[in-house]
A and B are shown apart, each in its own frame.
Chain A
Amino acid sequence: MAKKKDLDMMDSSAKVKISRGERIFNVFNIIILSLFMIACIYPFWYVICASFSKNTLLMGYRGALLVPQGFSLAAYARVFGTAAIWKGYANTIFIVVVGTALNIFMTLLAAYFLSRKNLPGKTFITVMIMFTMYFSGGMIPGYLNIQQLGLYNSTWALILPCALNTFNLIIMRTAMSGIDASLEESAMLDGAGHMTILWKILVPLTKATIAVLVLYYGVAHWNSWFSAMIYLKDANKYPLQMILRKILILSDLTDAGIGNDDAEMVAETIKYATIIVSTVPILALYPFLQKYFTKGVMVGAVKG
């Protein structure tokens, strides 16, 4: 449909003479958007350049960086040699994989229930779920709850409390509600149970939405650091973001094997190299996944 609209527009814009005002607007539009793009990209470019620079030259450099100052891989050598970063990567990957699998499982179950019609108790459960979007116990009761459940200092404290996200659940429910009910009804008549209908009919038909949710949940797990900070005591269990926080925010470079003496030598470039090493995997995946992300928002845009 979108394609058809574009064709229509091109068609008519070819026929209708473009006024002077419109032409000026087009030029300004392109300039504004180009500036915005530069603003979006430049910080990344700066980080890349800085990470490859020689630390001493970088420290002395003033103004906008357009190319690396000198060329040095010393910072990367340090970052790749930092065991804590790899340990953090491993922990994060575990959390992302297990957490996302659980998320999808729970979301499918909940969305299936909420997309059924005429089920007794549905209103009650819907209200119970929706209410949590607008009201919560807050940080401290949540924290005490984790302690009471015996999850403190466990990786599961980062996975179980966010086993389901209500926003994502609404996206999934919307997708399932959009599927022709006659398919399910005929399957019912053939004797299919609810589980069969969910796995054999609804899951294949909502694959695109599921892919979107995998991305949403995965990115959320990847980025999460606050729960790790408050629920984990043992630094060995820290996800990558907590290691990054230590190196980048607290400027504690002891993990990278840098004491206070030689900190000056590479400290700045190490930070930039750490940003690159931790961000490139997700940015590299992103162009391939972009269309799913976009699709997801479009599904979610439909009123819940």
Chain B
Amino acid sequence: MRRRTLSATAAALVALLGLAACGESTLEAGDDLDSSKLTIYSAQHKNLTEEWGKEFQEKTGIEVQVRYGNDSSMGSQIVQEGASSPADVFLTENSPAMTTVERAGLLAPVDASTLAQVGPGYAPSSKDWVGIAARSTVLVYNPSKISEQDLPSSLMDLADPKYAGQWGAAAGGADFQAIVSAVLATEGEEKTAAWLDALKKNAKVYQNNIATMKAVNAGQSAMGVIYHYYWYRDQALNKSGSGNTKLHYFKNEDPGAFVSLSGGAVLKSSTKQADAQKFLAFVTSQQGQQALGTTASKEYAVGRDAASDPALPPLDTLEAPQIDPFTLNGPEVISLMTKAGLL
């Protein structure tokens, strides 16, 4: 009896292993990188990247595969991979990571026709990458915890001890680090360092923007610094994470009104330059920019002829600070945040 169970187990194991070996070549999930496909390193949202990949594949017949990650991590990863990076295209959520790769000299110039598809100011003068979407900084707050007139009038005011313990942010994430880079660009190093010290002392650090928003919704924090689209997306769904909250726009060219530019670029080392350029052309095209709406990503479109989601306040009413997104400094922000003990 025991022997029989044993042989059966062994047979089952061998069969499964055999199956596993076969799967190596036939199944998509779990396969290693397929060098025949266009490889996209994406720090952008999964559903948006997937939609772009799917529509691009349908339109051009070019197969894509995506590796997901975070802005800063992937930017550094590409720099370390250097000339033999498996990536053909890099998509970010914010500009500092793209700037890191650009300064390492790893980007190929973007086709002029692609650059012509986005509005003015959505590509660096080097023309090494192109804006693909935009997002705005907001303060999400819970009116039952803090009334509208008590809200800070500037992002910098959050450092005031009277707000201690009342606000939170996802300080470990690239999104927040981009916001800090805006603070650095508008306020200078000294004020930024002081503001970060206050953040370390007074604020709760959450895992990401969604966790921040949901903590505000649940009343665990009165306010949170996030990007706008997390809130609009939840409002469009079932409001389960934002039903008790409101948004406050700092406007007034405050660093808290910072609009961050997501970027797309082709790697110089890519052996599929033409296909990679086609992908960027597609993402910035009218169809590609419409995907921002169809996937309910609620990010702002940057294409010339593309309209943003009508639920969003128009980009030009946000009174964003005049910051050159192409000079935002990732490494210095990280070093300041490390000094403040946030990393």
**Do these two chains interact?**
no
